[in-house]
Amino acid sequence: MTYDPGVRVLYSIGWLLATPLVVAYLLWRGRRQPEYRAHWAERFGLHPRRADRAPLIWIHAVSVGETRAAQPLVSALAAAYPQARILVTAMTPTGRETARELYAKPLGARFAQAYLPYDYAGAPRRFLRAWRPSIGLVMETELWPNLMAAAERERVPVALVNARLSARSLARGERTRALIAPAARRLAAVLAQSSEDAARIATLGREADAVTGNLKFDNAPKAPLLALGTGWRARIGRPVLVAASTRDGEEPLLWDAWRRALGAPGGEGAAPMRAQRVDGPGGGSPRPLLAIVPRHPQRFDEVARDVAAAGFSVARRAALDDPAFDWSGVDVLVGDSMGEMDAWYALAGCAIIGGSLKPFGSQNLIEACAAGCPVLVGPSTFNFAEAASQAVEAGAARSVADAGAAIETGLRLLADGEAARAMGEAGARFAATHRGATRRTLEALAPLLGRALGAPARTPREG
């Protein structure tokens, strides 16, 4: 058994003292997103004990991105181990809702979901005793000291899969090494996305068992959503630049740059939208449309209000369902929908990836590449550093310095169909080349899963 230094006791006391702040945070978030006011008992490890005795695979995906990344792995595990139920935990309401949308119907009664409790002393142990998982698979970077100690005591093997550790996260880990290193050593397996991630994880005291690639590459775009987005494009009849999964503070940078580039309402030199056209190959083309798709649903209304207050004519997602809607006078389309990102990429002539224009580390650019959409990324890409670098090298993406450069480059691509088409094709090839992480992850986990579940994986030949 691995013993922690006394710092974990101080860490647990810190959580206890922070309880008023935790409650205040949930109440504050609940004002904008009422779902934060639900399931509080689960946040503190108070879960009803499950009645069945089926083997249980527990997968923790902190929020939306990790939950979507887990989809091919969840599907593969469900097929390979039909005797097992699958519990998906999250830390955010949007992650929880995404899990329900993705897994409830295909898994049926085999699917369960809950919040992973905060890392109070005792809360993880109550969670594990209530659910009795046979094995835990934690996605990407979530590593909680009390949770790992409880898993060791309850003899629940936990593997870190699709593991990544940016240089920034490593610096934080180094500052809390006394907590993180013992937790890392308790992991039953570590499957890293890349050799660089494996090397950084090793500096915290736990060597990676395998480099399996990034599961996000295995999420192929959904044909019905691609068809939906293609239909939107025909309905709008104008080239569209999509700012995808934008984060707080990025939208004003984008619409200000859009105003400067095109003289949109509210700025000097503004011209009537219905009459204005832009030059492109072969003559004039309809004025481009900017679509902004915020990352978090609780910000949809706020972004729409702010765009309108800035002097733009705004449409929202619902307008795309109206065949009679007149798009000629719209400046900005706000994409206030969840689970339709493939459709937005099919609509786009080019996509600016949110989270990369301010220091958020970028959102998932792989989805856009897989959909054959030209990609622009800003300077902050630490969450997708390797994928961003490889995409640029493959000709699927271009790196830009700021929002102004993103808008300028995007407009040039909208006007240059041949260059945009070449980037889109390069993106599709890039995404296809890097698929296979799900297969490699299952192969690496097979011995651990076999011991935990008491049965070998079911192969297609057997089923």
80: domain CATH number? 3.40.50.11720
pLDDT greater than 80 at residue 139: yes
Residue 284: the pLDDT is 55
- Asked whether the predicted pLDDT for residue 5 surpasses 90, the reply is no
Band of residue 96 on the pLDDT scale cut at 50, 70, 90: very high
CA 396 to chain centre: 20
Question: Is residue 458 assigned to a domain?
Answer: no
Of the pLDDT bands very low, low, confident and very high (cuts 50, 70, 90), residue 191 is very high
267 pLDDT band (50/70/90 cuts)?
A: very low
The percentage of the chain sitting over the pLDDT mark of 90, rounded to a whole number, equals 85
pLDDT exceeds 90 at position 32: no
Same domain, 293 and 245: yes
Q: Is the pLDDT of residue 445 over 50?
A: yes
Asked if 423 and 443 sit in the same domain, the reply is no
- Give yes or no: residues 141 and 263 share one domain: no
Tokens at 253, concatenated: 């940078």
* Residues marked as catalytic: 66
pTM, rounded to two decimals? 0.88
Containing structural domain, residue 147: 7-216+436-453
Query: What pLDDT does residue 271 have?
Result: 38
pLDDT at residue 2 above 90? no
Do 172 and 284 lie in one domain? The reply is: no
The answer to the question of residue 414 being in a domain is yes
Secondary structure of 430-454 as H, E, C letters: HHHHCCCHHHHHHHHHHHHHHHHHC
Provide the mean pLDDT of the chain.
92
Mean pLDDT value of segment 161-178: 89
Residues 22 and 62 placed together within one structural domain of the fold = yes
Which pLDDT does position 265 carry in this prediction?
59
Q: Using alpha carbons, list the distances in angstroms from residue 407 to 261, 334, 336, 411, 412.
A: 8, 16, 21, 6, 9
Q: Are 116 and 89 in contact (CB under 8 A)?
A: yes
Share of the chain above pLDDT 70, in %: 93
pLDDT of 258 above 90: yes
Tell me which residue of 44, 90, 66 sits closest to 139, measured CA to CA.
66
Kindly report, residue by residue over 281-313, the tens digit of the pLDDT: 333 578 999 999 999 998 999 999 999 999 999
The answer on pLDDT for 166 being more than 90 is no
Please, which pLDDT band fits residue 463 given cuts at 50, 70 and 90?
Answer: very low
**CATH number of domain containing 413:** 3.40.50.2000
Structure-token pair, residue 338: 């969840």
Confidence of residue 171 (pLDDT cuts 50, 70, 90): confident
Q: State how many domains the chain has.
A: 2
Does residue 1 fall inside a structural domain? no
Task: Provide the pLDDT confidence category of residue 4 given band limits of 50, 70 and 90.
Answer: low
- Strand pairing report for 277-280 and 283-286: antiparallel
Q: State the Cα–Cα distance between residues 228 and 248, nearest whole angstrom.
A: 27
pLDDT at position 390 is 96
pLDDT tens profile 356-390:
999 999 999 999 999 999 999 999 999 999 999 99
**Is there a single domain that holds both residue 257 and residue 396?**
yes
At which residue do the structure tokens 């992850």 appear? 441
Closest CA to 61 of 26, 109, 32, 100: 100
> What dihedral do alpha carbons 400, 404, 408, 414 form, nearest 10°?
80
